[in-house]
Amino acid sequence: MATYPEFKSPLINVWQYLNRNLPYFRKALGIVQEPVATIGFDPECASSCNKVNNYTLTIDGQQFDVYRLQGVVTMQDGVSVYARVLGSLTTSSPVLTIVKNSTDVEAFDILFQTTNTAICTGSLVTDADPLSITVGEVLPVDLLFVNTDNTITTADEHFFYIIGGASFPFDCLVNVDLEVAVVKGSTVEYSTL
């Protein structure tokens, strides 16, 4: 019986595998693939989108597959308005719905403490105005959201982007974590452009 460094002895190898949570067990067997974020058109954004296996939703009697969009967006130019493009999700069906948004905003204050808040108007960001008496402090932003738009090119191409604005220059990181529902059986392709 093989001994792995994380186990104390070969006698309890099996017990320790069985005593772990299900995601660990799937990863150990190689069943689960880790998402790989790709930098695309906007060098300040890295993202990936993968189908959530064995998970479907029924909305108004119609079945949907669920895809998880994850990424990191850097907003550290010290400006008061940001527009960052994550990528585009092209589907064979124009119906796409954001069903879960766990995106959060990370700000660092002058004492190098991290503050995480949900993405919304009022999220906390770092004041980056060198002329302000509050420079380096964490303040609420006037506008910050993640959105999708399928009116730019065709109805089946959904662009995901983040818009932020404030009355002062600000910095932050946005940790994107969305689940989107696409009509079951649709072909889906994600591109970071």
Closest CA to 150 of 65, 81, 93: 93
Banded model confidence at residue 33, pLDDT cuts 50, 70, 90: low
Banded model confidence at residue 50, pLDDT cuts 50, 70, 90: very high
Banded model confidence at residue 159, pLDDT cuts 50, 70, 90: very high
Residue 181 has pLDDT above 80, yes or no: yes
Choose between 35 and 61: higher pLDDT: 61
Task: State the pLDDT at residue 27.
Answer: 60
Banded model confidence at residue 94, pLDDT cuts 50, 70, 90: confident
Q: What is the pTM of this model?
A: 0.79
Cβ atoms 16, 23 nearer than 8 A: no
Which residue segments constitute the domains of the chain, with CATH numbers given?
1-32 (no CATH), 33-191 (2.60.40)
User: What single string gives the DSSP state of each residue in 132-171?
Assistant: STTTTSEEE-SEEEEEEE-SSS-TTEEEEEEEEEEEEEEE
**C-alpha span between 49 and 70 (Å, rounded):** 6
